[in-house]
Amino acid sequence: MDLENTKAQMRKGILEYCILSVLSRNSCYASDIIKELKEAEVIVVEGTLYPLLTRQKNAGLLSYRWEESQQGPPRKYYELTDSGRNYLADLDNSWQELVESVNRIRTS
Amino acid sequence: MKITVSINLGGYSFNIDEDAYAELKRYLRNLELHFAGEESSSEILSDIETRMAEIFRARLTSFKQVINIDDVQQAISVMGTPEDISDNGGKTTREKFSTPGYHRMYRDPDNRIIGGVCAGMGAYWDIEPLIIRIIFIALVLAGGIGALIYLILYIVLPEARSTAQKIEMKGDPVNIHNIKDAVKKEFDTVRKNMKL
């Protein structure tokens, strides 16, 4: 068994959920999302985020709009779509169940 | 003194040292290979380029107008190499990364004598092409059937042109690591030839 690998797999599983949760509060620019995920230590390198955002956008969970920025070219601001919100609500439930199940196993 | 190159990255124009340019180009090319199977891979790459442009801009001041190799390496460590991005936790990355290894027979243009058929068969079965050549010559001498077989194989087998095809020909899994190795080997051969 490889501890680093196990940790990486855990991170990978919850990353998608974390991105949607960050976006559920307000629409964000990719760098804002990265900052939060880095602080929470669920992401190691920024490059991981971009393919996930694009996949979620293609799946109709996110949409983006271009916004002017003072420091240069326009930026992509991502936000949840309605189907993204439903998806997130489902994930919220299963996360809750998962935490409870794991806790039950650990304490029994 | 150093030569600089002018590039357009994510809509910004940068002056970048030649060695830094080579490093950046290699990195972006590796990412491109990494995301090659992905739907909207060009969109992912352009997002990454935009972000790298931002990182570069933050490192430029009125005293430092040119992007150097340190800036590129720093940006790469922030964005992550393809290995980091796939995040498989170290050691096993290399195996997980590779697409299932295709093994196909090609004509080998690098070691050919006539059409590369025997060289390609040799590479496919990992035996000396000379042995196959001797068999073919024997078949040609024994009634000419060898020439017909050769002609058919020449028509049927595609030539291994790209690096990926050359790797497939030898049966290694096609991934970034051995494409890099193969390109480097080719580069070294060219350099050696030029010295001679």
Contact list in B for residue A8 (CB cut-off 8 A) is 87-90
For residues B151 and B175, membership in a common domain is answered with no
Digitized pLDDT (tens) for each residue of chain B, 196 residues in all? 889 999 999 888 999 999 999 999 999 988 888 887 777 888 999 999 998 998 999 899 888 999 999 999 999 999 988 887 775 544 333 443 444 456 788 899 888 888 899 999 988 888 888 999 999 899 888 888 888 899 999 998 888 877 777 777 877 666 666 777 777 777 777 777 776 5
Q: For the residues A85-97, what does the mean pLDDT come to?
A: 94
B79–A8 CB contact, under 8 Å: no
For residues B148 and B179, membership in a common domain is answered with no
What pLDDT is attached to residue B124?
A: 85
CA distance B153 to B117: 7
Scanning B58-87 for CB atoms below 8 A from A yields: 77-82, 84-85, 87
For residues B21 and B62, membership in a common domain is answered with yes
The tally of domains found in chain B comes to: 2
For residues B9 and B73, membership in a common domain is answered with yes
For residues B55 and B22, membership in a common domain is answered with yes
What pLDDT is attached to residue A91?
A: 93
What pLDDT is attached to residue A17?
A: 92
Judge whether B107 lies within some domain: no
Backbone dihedral angles phi then psi of residue B6, each to the nearest 5 degrees: -100, 125
pLDDT over threshold 60, residue A29: yes
For residues B39 and B76, membership in a common domain is answered with yes
- Among B49, B38, B41, B37, CA closest to B11: B49
**What sign does the dihedral B73-B78-B79-B80 (CA atoms) show?**
positive
For residues B26 and B57, membership in a common domain is answered with yes
Judge whether B109 lies within some domain: no
CA distance A14 to A98: 12
Judge whether B77 lies within some domain: yes
Q: Which domain holds residue B150?
A: 117-156
Q: For the residues A29-41, what does the mean pLDDT come to?
A: 87
What pLDDT is attached to residue B172?
A: 66
What pLDDT is attached to residue B89?
A: 44
For residues B176 and B133, membership in a common domain is answered with no
**B50 burial via Cβ count (<10 Å: 0-12, 13-18, 19+):** buried
A48–B43 CB contact, under 8 Å: no
Q: For the residues A85-102, what does the mean pLDDT come to?
A: 94
Residues making up chain A, counted from first to last:
108
* Interface check A63 vs B, CB under 8 A: no
Measure B87 CA to nearest chain A CA, in Å: 6
For residues B34 and B61, membership in a common domain is answered with yes
Judge whether B36 lies within some domain: yes
For residues B67 and B124, membership in a common domain is answered with no
Judge whether B70 lies within some domain: yes
Residue ranges of alpha helices (H) inside B81-175 are: 82-86, 93-97, 117-125, 129-141, 145-156, 163-170
What pLDDT is attached to residue B20?
A: 93
Contact list in B for residue A11 (CB cut-off 8 A) is 87
For residues B133 and B183, membership in a common domain is answered with no
ipTM of predicted assembly, 2 dp: 0.83
CA distance B113 to A82: 64
* Interface check A108 vs B, CB under 8 A: no
**What sign does the dihedral B55-B59-B65-B71 (CA atoms) show?**
negative
B47–A76 CB contact, under 8 Å: yes
pLDDT digits (tens, 9 = 90+) for A38-83: 888 888 788 889 999 999 999 999 999 988 877 677 888 999 999 9
Q: Residue B81 to residues A54, A86, B25, B26, B125: CA-CA distances in angstroms?
A: 18, 34, 13, 11, 34
CA distance A101 to A37: 25
Judge whether B110 lies within some domain: no
Strands (DSSP E) found in chain B: 4-9, 12-17, 66-67
Instruction: Count interface pairs A-B at CB distance under 8 A.
Output: 78
pTM of the full structure = 0.61
Judge whether B9 lies within some domain: yes
For residues B43 and B61, membership in a common domain is answered with yes
Contact list in B for residue A58 (CB cut-off 8 A) is 39-40
Judge whether B138 lies within some domain: yes
Measure B52 CA to nearest chain A CA, in Å: 10
